[in-house]
Amino acid sequence: MKKPIEIKLQYDTKLIAHRGLSGIAPENTLEAFIKAGQYGYYGVECDIHVTKDREFIVFHDFTLERMTNETGFIKDLTLDEIQNIPITSGNNIELYNEVKIPSLKMFLNVCMTYEMIPVIEIKDVIDMEDLDRLIELLKQNDLLESVHIISFQLEYLIYMRNKEEKLTIFYLVDAITQEAISICRKYRFNVDGNYGKMSQSVIQRCHDYNILVNTYTVDDIEIAKKLSEYQIDYITTNILVNK
């Protein structure tokens, strides 16, 4: 059975559980989110899509095949249909019974129960009105000023910034280029980049402009320690936990 790997970081780098504590429980499930809470993560990340009936569900892929025995696109199914489909894949799946695809509301409830920062990656929406409804849901749960919104889809992030000045938003990129830094400065975004293309000079350049830096997805102790020495703000991980 896979177990978390303990690490002691020197700098005040905060760990974010990638799709929940997905190294020891099936990704993007309540089981993985609860495990993250039990291990005291600062934040927990999830991916969201919009269903046919315009509800938010937590799932990484656009289609069902990798994580279930079903086929089809998330956007073509209703919330009820999706929540009746069991998860059949993922780490330690054999230890859990009747694992289901959760709604965003369920994810937020776990975050609030364990006092973790919700980190929401917007994978896809039907139209921009969905983003308005996301903002409203965060307001209803008094999470607007604590949540981290992340996405590779720049248009989503710009839309949300124009709607809400108080949101903490991270622009997801592969490499943190000068262009990415310029975008972050213009829209008051932070940045979230691939650890394989991260360097001390890039982190420092971002900090010079008051841009916070997260990196994904680090499961190696030595890499995490080195990034912490570089004073990175956040590390997203599947398996590492703070001692």
Domain boundaries, the chain: 5-242
Estimate to the nearest angstrom the gap between the alpha carbon of 205 and the chain centroid.
Answer: 24
Mean pLDDT of all residues belonging to the chain:
97
pLDDT of residue 243: 87
Residue 2 has pLDDT above 90, yes or no: no
In the chain, % of residues over pLDDT 90: 97
Report in angstroms the alpha-carbon separations of 131 from 29, 46, 101: 22, 16, 21
Q: What is the pLDDT of residues 16-26, one digit of tens each?
A: 999 999 999 99
98's torsion region: left (phi>0), alpha (psi -120 to 50) or beta?
left
- H-type helices in the chain, by residue range? 30-38, 79-83, 104-114, 129-140, 154-163, 178-187, 200-208, 221-229
Fold of 5-242: TIM Barrel (3.20.20)
Query: With contact defined as beta carbons under 8 Å apart, do 235 and 19 qualify?
Result: no
Stronger pLDDT, 206 or 11, i.e. the higher one: 206
pLDDT tier at 78, thresholds 50, 70, 90 = very high
Rounded to two decimals, the pTM is: 0.98
Instruction: Quick: pLDDT tens for 83-138.
Output: 999 999 999 999 999 999 999 999 999 999 999 999 999 999 999 999 999 999 99
What pLDDT does 132 receive?
A: 98
Residue-wise pLDDT for 171-196, tens only, equals 999 999 999 999 999 999 999 999 99
| Model pLDDT, residue 10 | 83
What is the Cα–Cα distance from 61 to 107, expressed in whole angstroms?
A: 17
Q: What's the whole-number mean pLDDT along residues 200-211?
A: 98
Tell me how crowded residue 207 is: count the other CB atoms within 10 A of its CB: 14
The 3-state DSSP class for residue 217 equals: coil
> Cα(28)–Cα(8) distance, rounded to whole angstroms?
25
Q: Count of CB atoms within 10 A of residue 16's CB? A: 24
Instruction: Give the pLDDT band (50/70/90) at residue 34.
Output: very high
DSSP-derived secondary structure letter, 197: G
DSSP letter at 74 equals G
Closest of 110, 100, 141 to residue 33, by C-alpha: 110
37-56: per-residue pLDDT in tens?
999 999 999 999 999 999 99
How far apart, in Å, are the Cα atoms of 111 and each of 91, 132, 181, 191, 238?
21, 21, 30, 22, 17
Q: Are 139 and 110 in contact (CB under 8 A)?
A: no
